[in-house]
Structure 1
Amino acid sequence: MFAMNVTQCPSCGSRRIQHVCRDFHGELKGEAYVVPDLEFHECSDCGEKLFDRDAMRRIEEVSPAYREPRSHARAGRR
């Protein structure tokens, strides 16, 4: 279920923003990944993509960023 109701692009202000459901292709440090049948909003004018919480979870499941250990992110924090 897609919970966002977006009517205007936050980047360019265009009202030509659409709800789409298609494969999302990403890349991190030269490693490509695909999230099949992802629902999100996309601006027809500037290409900005907006993801709800469920879409972000699906991206995180396949993104190489979340396969690497993240212990260094907390180093030095107490």
Structure 2
Amino acid sequence: MFKKHQIYKIDNYNMLTVVVQGKTLIVREISDQWGEDCHTFVSRQEMLHWAKNRYRAEEFVGREDELAEIMHNLKEV
């Protein structure tokens, strides 16, 4: 049984989801700019480390609430 978490969804071409398969976390990132990217992690800590590097504060100037929501949703997985 897989459990899917929607981290954010702007539209069908810009979204981030996490699928939990036992101990494995599969992050699926879709963007209209880069296409689809999948990342597989064996722990929440590894996924959160990736997210901190992927979603940096300097990219969200003026949109700090959006960054906080993304990080909160990832921590809830």
Q: Which structure has the higher relative contact order (CA within 8 Å, separation 6+)? A: 1
- The structure richer in strand per residue is 2
TM-score, normalised via structure 2 length: 0.29
Larger Rg: 1
- The structure richer in helix per residue is 2
